[in-house]
Chains A and B, each alone.
Chain A
């Protein structure tokens, strides 16, 4: 789990640096080697690592507009993913998709930039497995803000009705862009909504990878054993802005100061509990950093697609 979190973090660090190339001192979203919006995962890594570690090849995962940590934890090919961020022809979709629209059929992974949009397709992947008598469950990641979309409620009703092997992970970072959850959501816990749809609901506080791991294990067990769906609501932190360039001026200073980075804390715990030695940790980190560097190099150095590729792949 630490490895997945660390890999995501080092990737986001590298992406942040590359994204700002060509964008300082004048910030223009379309400039530099990594143009467009860029929603990063700083602080939310435990939500991906603690859940995806339970999943096998037969399972499916859908992420939202902030997909990097989930894609990494799911094991999406790092080089192809980074090449997609750069819009290169070696990318997952040959440069057609971009950072919010990452698709990797080899690990049953997709992401989408419209809020709550992964709910239906995620549940559909669960339905397909059930109809085909195949093993496997589906997990859809959304944010707390997405729980106010119609798709969330409509899909969860069907998940309950049809007992689909489906987990809705809500990453509760408390903000939908600038709007705090208390100003957008009628109840404190979205996991409480589960009872309305006849599914299980669990809330995990503290952005703690081990607690997330345990709760996710229970949800996965329910899905695999035919007991149906779960809302797994994970308290987390959005350490940076909504996207790069958002300075988060709408957040109170005290709240910003109180934010805790889960990765160093987890590292300390692993060392204190003697799960890992400092030497092992350092060599793991060096290995991961090497992979990220290699992926970034691959993405940067790959060629752009031919412009006329834009007109291809519309139909099967």
Chain B
């Protein structure tokens, strides 16, 4: 099964968009639950997205992609 990596609701204030700065792991890497997998930026604040599960990472939003709240930016295939 797969678990989506979603931009959390409470990550930033109202009506602001963010942007993917960088992915810490490459597409296809295996990641562990709780690890930071990506850095995203909202205004000047740089925040982390954390792996919601352990498994194989699929990146859906490349660096420099503008993202919104609740957006699915990646996916983890669990074993």
Q: Real complex partners, A and B? A: yes
A→B interface (CB under 8 Å): 24-27, 29, 245-247, 249
Q: Which of A24, A26, A245, A246 contacts B64 (CB 8 A)?
A: A26
Q: Smallest CB–CB gap between A239 and chain B, Å?
A: 16
From B28-36, B38-46, B48-56, give the one contacting chain A. Answer: B38-46
Contact: A249 with B66, CB < 8 Å? no
Most A Cβ at <10 Å: residue of B18, B43, B45, B66: B43
Contacts of B44 in A (CB 8 A): 27, 29, 245-247
Q: Smallest CB–CB gap between B73 and chain A, Å?
A: 15
Looking across the interface, which residue of chain B has its beta carbon closest to that of A29? Answer: B44
Looking across the interface, which residue of chain B has its beta carbon closest to that of A241? Answer: B44
B→A interface (CB under 8 Å): 13, 17-19, 41-45, 64, 66
Most B Cβ at <10 Å: residue of A24, A246, A247: A247
Can you offer 18 A-B residue contacts whose CB atoms are under 8 A? A24-B17, A25-B17, A25-B19, A25-B66, A26-B19, A26-B41, A26-B64, A27-B41, A27-B43, A27-B44, A29-B44, A245-B44, A246-B44, A247-B13, A247-B43, A247-B44, A247-B45, A249-B45
Contacts of B13 in A (CB 8 A): 247
Q: Smallest CB–CB gap between A151 and chain B, Å?
A: 28
Contacts of B66 in A (CB 8 A): 25-26
A27–B17 Cα distance when bound, in Å, is: 10
A248–B66 Cα distance when bound, in Å, is: 22
Q: Smallest CB–CB gap between A308 and chain B, Å?
A: 33
A74–B60 Cα distance when bound, in Å, is: 54
Q: Smallest CB–CB gap between A26 and chain B, Å?
A: 5
Contacts of A26 in B (CB 8 A): 19, 41, 64, 66
Closest 4 CB pairs of A and B: A245-B44, A25-B17, A25-B66, A26-B19
Contacts of A25 in B (CB 8 A): 17-19, 66
Contacts of A247 in B (CB 8 A): 13, 42-45
A25–B64 Cα distance when bound, in Å, is: 10
Q: Smallest CB–CB gap between B18 and chain A, Å?
A: 8
A67–B19 Cα distance when bound, in Å, is: 31
A25–B18 Cα distance when bound, in Å, is: 7
A26–B65 Cα distance when bound, in Å, is: 9
Most A Cβ at <10 Å: residue of B13, B17, B44, B64: B44
Contacts of B43 in A (CB 8 A): 27, 245, 247
